[in-house]
């Protein structure tokens, strides 16, 4: 699955990568340990252009009676996305991209868990496929939330875990974000494992387990624990 990730690059780099425009004054703090229930930087298309904004990770569907459900809805399985009441209608009009430069998975070794960080070999920013929705709180406030889509592992990931986030290749990003596109078949065809050849994995410190730790040490390569 995908329950933690990193986005260490500057807002400047994100703007250049997704908006194709020169950065403004905003500054994006490097994130070494992004966790569910936090606000994350996302890309959506407003009909004219890409926009960067914040979504809380953990989907709260528009019909939910309270927002507690969000902590459970951090991932959506690509294989069943069209069958689930919570997701099937979002695929048409509520698609987003969550930019990342790494994600974490915990490899189970007997009773121990070894955290691993997975990145692109060239260190590039990549796009995780996500869905979002907006929930209206009883007090009238709007809460926009998201869920990251998962799929089966590629050959690199299979050794670590049985799920991985859906990563869109750069040439598929526009198709995914385009609001006018409601071709569900074409959209779901994008939800497949990314090429293992372009990725690498390395062990990191167990300090990444605690969400309070959001420091460069989280992404430092470590000797395998076990």
**Assigned token pair, 48:** 């004219």
Kindly provide the b/e burial profile for residues 39-68, where b requires at least 16 CB atoms within 10 angstroms of the residue's own CB: ebbbbbbeeeebebeebbbbbbbeebeeee
Nearest approach, Cβ of residue 190 and DNA (Å): 16
For DNA, give the closer residue by CB, 88 or 186.
Answer: 88
Residues that bind DNA (CB under 7 A): 1, 3-4, 35-38, 58, 61-65, 68, 71-77, 80-81, 83-89, 105-106, 108, 113, 115, 150, 161-163, 206, 209-212
How many CB atoms lie under 10 A from the CB of residue 111? 6
User: Which listed residue (105, 146, 173, 218) is catalytic?
Assistant: 105
Minimum CB distance to DNA smaller for 58 or for 102: 58
105 is catalytic: yes
Catalytic residue selected from 2, 146, 173, 218 = 2
Give 50's Cβ-side CA count (13 Å radius).
21
CB of 134 to DNA, least distance (A): 12
Tokens 């930019």 sit at which residue?
99
Judged by CB, which is closer to DNA: 17, or 161? 161
What is the nearest approach in angstroms of DNA to the Cβ of residue 20?
32
Find the length of the chain.
226
The residue (of 33 and 127) whose beta carbon lies closer to DNA is: 33
Torsion of CA 89, 91, 95, 101, to 10 degrees: 130
Catalytic center residues? 2, 105
């Amino acid at each position: 699955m995908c329950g933690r990730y990193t986005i260490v690059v500057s807002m400047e780099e994100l703007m250049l990568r997704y908006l194709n425009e020169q950065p403004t004054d905003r500054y994006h703090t490097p994130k070494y340990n992004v966790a569910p229930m936090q606000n994350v930087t996302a890309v959506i298309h407003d009909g004219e252009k890409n926009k960067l904004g914040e979504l809380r990770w953990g989907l709260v569907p528009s019909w939910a009676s309270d927002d507690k459900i969000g902590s459970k809805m951090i991932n959506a399985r690509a294989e069943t996305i069209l069958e689930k009441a919570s997701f099937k209608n979002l695929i048409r009009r509520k698609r987003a991209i969550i930019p990342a430069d790494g994600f974490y998975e915990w490899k189970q070794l007997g009773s121990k868990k070894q955290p691993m960080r997975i990145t692109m070999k060239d260190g590039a920013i990549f796009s995780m496929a996500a869905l979002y929705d907006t929930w209206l709180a009883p007090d009238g406030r709007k809460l926009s939330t998201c869920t990251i889509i998962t799929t089966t592992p590629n050959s690199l990931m299979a050794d670590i875990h049985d799920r991985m986030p859906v990563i869109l290749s750069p040439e598929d990003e526009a198709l995914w974000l385009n609001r006018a596109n409601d071709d569900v078949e074409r959209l779901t065809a994008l939800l497949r494992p990314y090429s293992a050849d372009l990725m690498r994995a390395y062990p990191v410190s167990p300090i990444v387990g605690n969400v309070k730790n959001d420091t460069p040490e989280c992404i430092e390569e470590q000797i395998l624990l076990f």
